[in-house]
Structure 1
């Protein structure tokens, strides 16, 4: 991982100034996301480290019509203006809790309408799950076709809330990172996707019939993958395999691997949090969104 591998013309590269700021060891030319989730991120801490104020924002819980029922959700956007670029925020397996809400507020302060739907609500209350296994079981019962309909409904709701129909992106963490891959292979309206440590390999099932490794040819937007070198649940070999498939499919991608960072390195409410990697990844994500017309 000391060498930056040669990258084919189809691959998206980081701009040289940003590349140098983050350092050569922080990059590997691969991409990833998958049908599972990693359980080794550590227990929940008492509170988030980062707390974003709501002054100048419209932020709070919302209800999103989605077919047979309304989805609980959280939305944050600037208090003035209209036609804000929209970012769908996909939660981990742990539900729509304060960390995910704060991610929405951070994005709103950058000028986005950020909305996180609680798309596990039909399967259970993941935020109230007594342990990681119970939360994983709830997430594991979510069918992809239902997930896609819920995300479609969320985008429609965001448009009615003043969001742009043309500038749309999706980001997600852990299982939500996997969902970034899946939805990016589904919706041609997306301009960009950012998968934070979403696994790319795993077992397909009746509910999730394809893993991201099987989706490369169908990816419809540029993807940024942000991963930790010390993530025991997402082998670097699987990312290299994803890199190969994306390259063969002629897709646009950028993959960053942060040396020594574990799974969940952006989650500031868990011991897995790594401040330097989290902040560097966030800056890179914002540049990636803007560089792909979501600003």
Structure 2
């Protein structure tokens, strides 16, 4: 069977030239697609491998960029870039929409069958696309339970799955409660999984990075969260055999 194929795609967003990683499944026909958002530091081999794994499952997958091709190893530099983004829903939506347009324009993509899944800041982007009314079949967010303009959650037109570590000081219980209330009040089909003992960014192995307090990798829950994401896609965006 032919292998997954990949290529780098460049596109403009947020005044930058974004550098995404596109992974295509074997074959030549149209397939359901997944827009894949990275953690705050940006696109690294971790996200590229996630996109490749999704392509192996039969999905067209685009790991989209947040920082114009830059990957932060210094968390303080990362926060200086990310914090203003997280406080500006319109910028998050613009970054997500630019990537979604690239994915939807890929000839292998079935434009009627797209999901958005993100980690951390990338998860916030996925949620903001939903709040903006993007035509998505599912939204998954891990550690990205941001709230901004809660009334706009009524624009979400698909199931939402969220995962968070129980010991995450950034996505603390108050933030989780606010997210749950927002989804419930908007009538969204939503789920929240709390992974016991996990810190913030539990899903991302530490690779040549300084780590902030409250951040830590949890290999077991990272694998469980991945299986939960794959389960969401299998439910909402099944791949035809």
The normalised TM-score by structure 1 is: 0.69
Check if 1:106 corresponds to 2:53. Answer: yes
Query: Given the superposition, is the C-alpha separation of residues 79 and 293 from structure 1 closer, same or farther in structure 2, using an over 3 Å criterion?
Result: closer
Aligned residues: 228
> Partner residue of 2:115?
169
3-state DSSP class of the match of 1:176?
helix
> Is the contact between residue 120 and residue 139 of structure 1 (CA under 8 Å) also seen in structure 2?
no
After superposition, where does 1:87-98 map in structure 2 within 5 Å?
87-98=34-45
> Partner residue of 1:154?
99
> Is the contact between residue 175 and residue 199 of structure 1 (CA under 8 Å) also seen in structure 2?
no
Name the CA distance, whole Å, in 1 between partners of 2:48 and 2:202.
17
Q: Kindly name which structure, 1 or 2, has the bigger radius of gyration based on alpha carbons.
A: 1
> Partner residue of 1:48?
none
Name the CA distance, whole Å, in 1 between partners of 2:107 and 2:21.
12
Name the CA distance, whole Å, in 2 between partners of 1:116 and 1:280.
20
Name the CA distance, whole Å, in 2 between partners of 1:248 and 1:263.
26
Alpha-carbon displacement from aligned partner over 1:150-198 (angstroms, at most 9, x marks no partner): 4333333223341110110111111112222111111331111100011
After superposition, where does 1:181-192 map in structure 2 within 5 Å?
181-192=127-138
The higher-RCO structure (CA 8 Å, 6+ apart) is 1
Of residues 237-246 and 81-90 in structure 1, the stretch that sits farther from structure 2 once superposed is: 237-246
> Is the contact between residue 203 and residue 219 of structure 2 (CA under 8 Å) also seen in structure 1?
yes
Check if 1:273 corresponds to 2:217. Answer: yes
Query: Given the superposition, is the C-alpha separation of residues 130 and 225 from structure 1 closer, same or farther in structure 2, using an over 3 Å criterion?
Result: closer
3-state DSSP class of the match of 1:74?
strand
> Is the contact between residue 224 and residue 254 of structure 1 (CA under 8 Å) also seen in structure 2?
yes
Deviation of 1:65 (Å): 5.5
Name the CA distance, whole Å, in 2 between partners of 1:154 and 1:281.
23
Alpha-carbon displacement from aligned partner over 1:117-140 (angstroms, at most 9, x marks no partner): 22322xxx541x461111111223
3-state DSSP class of the match of 2:127?
helix
Alpha-carbon displacement from aligned partner over 1:27-51 (angstroms, at most 9, x marks no partner): xxxxxxxxxxxxxxxxxxxxxxxxx
Unaligned runs of at least 5 residues, structure 1? 1-54, 202-210
> Is the contact between residue 146 and residue 175 of structure 2 (CA under 8 Å) also seen in structure 1?
yes
> Partner residue of 1:132?
75
Name the CA distance, whole Å, in 2 between partners of 1:191 and 1:155.
13
> Partner residue of 1:249?
186
Name the CA distance, whole Å, in 2 between partners of 1:252 and 1:94.
30
After the TM superposition, which segments of 4 or more aligned residues of structure 1 sit over 6 Å from their partners?
A: none
Query: Given the superposition, is the C-alpha separation of residues 67 and 165 from structure 1 closer, same or farther in structure 2, using an over 3 Å criterion?
Result: farther
- Residue 175 of structure 2: which of 202, 216, 238 is its match? 238
